[in-house]
Structure 1
Amino acid sequence: MSTDDNPKSVPVKDVMAASGAMLQKQLFAIFTSPVDGLGPIFANIEEHLKFQVELEREGVMFAAGPLWTDDGESWEGEGLVVVRAESREAAIAIAERDPMHVSGARSFRVRPWLINEGTLSVRLDFSTQKFTLT
């Protein structure tokens, strides 16, 4: 990848070449943070969740949810939304439509995220017609 033994960054093309046999599915992570405490977040949560469900129905949403504090004991209003988009600019346009961001309750940043490894399992029990994700 690089001739430097300890580089600070590597060009995307080098990462893509090194992981060429892997999935290489490009998604976009939207990190969202409160601007002025939790009050404005709670005031916009219903419209925000409706927006999230609509993204899910449209097939835009990959995954989303709250980010707990590092100790896993509380929530300070941060969230992560992962979307399917054609570009970072398109992902930013999606984030800009979120009622949390429209209202100013949260700010956001968007980072491209390449999925190379992982697994998703779905178990469907025919008798009960229930499924489980693992």
Structure 2
Amino acid sequence: MPKWEDYKRTAKERGALALELYVVNTKPVGPDADIPGTLPDHLAYQAKMEAAGSLAFAGPVSDESGEEMFGEGMIVYRAESLDAARELADGDPMHARGVRSYTIRRWLINEGSFTLSVGLSTGKIDFK
């Protein structure tokens, strides 16, 4: 199995984007976790990370059927290293207060696309 940095270098050499981000999968520590009480501070933290350029994406994920919410979420950070991304995750009030636990992994973005449309006269923004 190749080492992460070796694979990243090879991806760049073949012309892939090789953009490294950090994916945090987060879940409640139990049914009595005070998620509603921690949510305002969590959202304020997310807004601060977004303004700082550290938060790429965040939001809940469904259960495997795609039909139900079950309390898990995903956060994608921009950071200089895995340790720096871990510090961002640790700073989230949900994690700092022990309301949620998380795992974190490096994510190397090589392929894909998105469309961003900005209506200048309407102020409408569409992201797909």
Over the aligned positions, Cα root-mean-square deviation in angstroms equals: 1.6
Corresponding residue number in structure 2 for 1:71: 65
Is 1:17 paired with 2:10?
Answer: yes
Alignment counterpart, residue 25 of structure 2, candidates 31, 39, 50:
31
* Amino acid in structure 2 at the alignment position of 1:133: F
4+ residue stretches of structure 1 with deviation over 6 A? none
Aligned equivalents of 1:121, 1:90: Cα separation in 2: 29
Instruction: For residue 45 of structure 1, give the secondary structure of its aligned residue in structure 2.
Output: helix
Which entry has the higher C-alpha Rg, 1 or 2? 1
- Report the count of equivalent residues: 126
Structure 2: tracts of 5 or more residues without a match: none
Deviation at 1:14, TM superposition (A): 3.6
Aligned equivalents of 1:111, 1:86: Cα separation in 2: 13
* Amino acid in structure 2 at the alignment position of 1:30: V
Deviation digits for residues 8-61 of structure 1 (CA, Å, limit 9, x no counterpart):
x33321454145301000110111111012641122111111111111111100
Percent of matched pairs sharing the same residue = 36
8 A Cα contact 1:66 1:80, kept in partner: yes
Deviation at 1:129, TM superposition (A): 2.7
8 A Cα contact 2:8 2:108, kept in partner: no
TM-score (structure 2 length as normaliser): 0.89
* Amino acid in structure 2 at the alignment position of 1:96: D
Alignment counterpart, residue 95 of structure 2, candidates 91, 96, 101:
101
Is 1:80 paired with 2:74?
Answer: yes
TM-score (structure 1 length as normaliser): 0.86
